[in-house]
Chains A and B, each alone.
Chain A
Amino acid sequence: EAGVAQSPRYKIIEKRQSVAFWCNPISGHATLYWYQQILGQGPKLLIQFQNNGVVDDSQLPKDRFSAERLKGVDSTLKIQPAKLEDSAVYLCASSFGMNTEAFFGQGTRLTVV
């Protein structure tokens, strides 16, 4: 069974530029999560989708971050404009439903210079 796919693996951008990350969850998984993992810390939830609806985006900096999952499958996370403190690994995870085991992708490492 294919795992959670994320791209790109690495991205370097200058501050104030925009960037987008893509996630393809495991087939059949209704719940999709985006986490931010800053160096030296555990992952922190940014946004959670159930199918194409947002369940929790309370920790998403909405002035610069946006995410969508239009058809309830793939998802994109965008940052515009990026700040230095956005440098982190962005992890996508999916699960069959809420409160079931989540499987993580390899993440996208973003460096903002």
Chain B
Amino acid sequence: TQLLEQSPQFLSIQEGENLTVYCNSSSVFSSLQWYRQEPGEGPVLLVTVVTGGEVKKLKRLTFQFGDARKDSSLHITAAQPGDTGLYLCARGGSQGNLIFGKGTKLSVKP
């Protein structure tokens, strides 16, 4: 089983701080997706990374796919309370379904 290990599991920070969360595996992936899930909602796709070494930016969020396509990171600059949520990484399954990591639960306090 090609597991996705996410770290840290929990993160609680103050508004304005920077943070990085990680998604690691021992396997190579053709692509990786990052989702944010707010309480009481379903996951929402943030970004898909497909090329080793790729960096994508989404406002204050920066996503990086490792050169070997085995790991990825999400960096948030100047976190805001609205960034609070569960951040999930996922890879594609053989039939187009998604296989998720356990997620990083982020809490940003005002």
Contacts and interface: CB of A to CB of B under 8 A. Distances in A.
A55 B93 CA distance: 12
> What are the 3 tightest A-B residue pairs by CB atom distance, in nearest-first order?
A104-B42, A42-B100, A98-B96
12 contacts: A35-B98, A42-B88, A43-B100, A44-B100, A45-B97, A56-B93, A91-B42, A99-B96, A102-B45, A102-B98, A106-B40, A107-B42
Interface of A: 4, 31, 33, 35, 40-45, 48, 55-56, 91, 93, 95, 97-102, 104-107
A48 B90 contact: no
B75 interface: no
Dominant secondary structure of chain B at its interface with chain A: loop
Contacts of B92: 99
B102 A105 contact: no
Nearest to B101: A42
Given A4-B42, A45-B93, A98-B95, 9 more contacts: A41-B102, A41-B103, A42-B100, A42-B101, A43-B100, A45-B97, A48-B95, A100-B96, A104-B44
Contacts of A99: 92, 96
Most chain A CB neighbours (cut-off 10 Å) among B95, B100, B102, B103: B95
